Amino acid sequence: MAQTTNDIIDTLNDLLENSRDGEYGFRLCAEEVENSSLRTTFANRATECAQAARELEELVVRLGGKPADGGTASGALHRGWVHVKGAVGANSEESMLNECERGEDAAVARYRKALQQDLPADVRAVIERQAQGAQKNHDQIKSLRDQARAAS
């Protein structure tokens, strides 16, 4: 069944909220982690999420919709968890990377769900490209987490 324009806008806004969650979460991790290499990785990932969010916002507006204002409730909980861990000194590289991988798992799942829908070719192309980026980032974070685990 073909998606309505409102359905497509809802899908894009879901991905937009997820991208904002990623941006905020990675930015917080960059602030909390001591390792300068990881700080750079997290900051770069936050920038990539912000770029993805802007691209999704543009699609929503082009389709006549209103971009979502914030992130998701689960993203807020995720950021709160990262902040609390940092405050109590439990922000080991491995635990930060575990939490980032969990966030990337959620992002990959949302993109997969979006790609199961009947989308216009131009929208599908953007979502496919962003989904590939989310998978690449997930794999990078997982690899870094595995390295941190092996080192501890």
- The torsion of the CA quartet 23, 24, 26, 29, rounded to 10 degrees, works out to 170
Supply the pLDDT for residue 68.
92
Give residue 70's pLDDT band: very low, low, confident or very high (50, 70, 90).
low
Q: Which of 47, 148, 40 lies closest to 97 in space, CA to CA?
A: 148
What pTM was computed for the model? 0.85
Q: How many domains does the chain have?
A: 1
Whole-angstrom CA distances from 68 to 135, 136, 145 are: 23, 25, 31
- What is the domain range of residue 126? 5-151
46: phi then psi, degrees, rounded to nearest 5: -60, -40
User: What's the distance, CA 46 to chain centroid?
Assistant: 8
Read off the pLDDT of each residue in 61-85 and give the average, rounded to a whole number: 66
| CATH number of the domain within which 130 lies | 1.20.1260.10
Q: Position of tokens 């080991």? A: 92
Average pLDDT, the chain: 86
- Reduced to 3 states (helix: H, G, I; strand: E, B; else coil), residue 118 is coil
83-141 pLDDT, tens digit each: 545 444 444 788 888 888 888 999 999 999 999 999 999 999 999 999 999 999 999 99
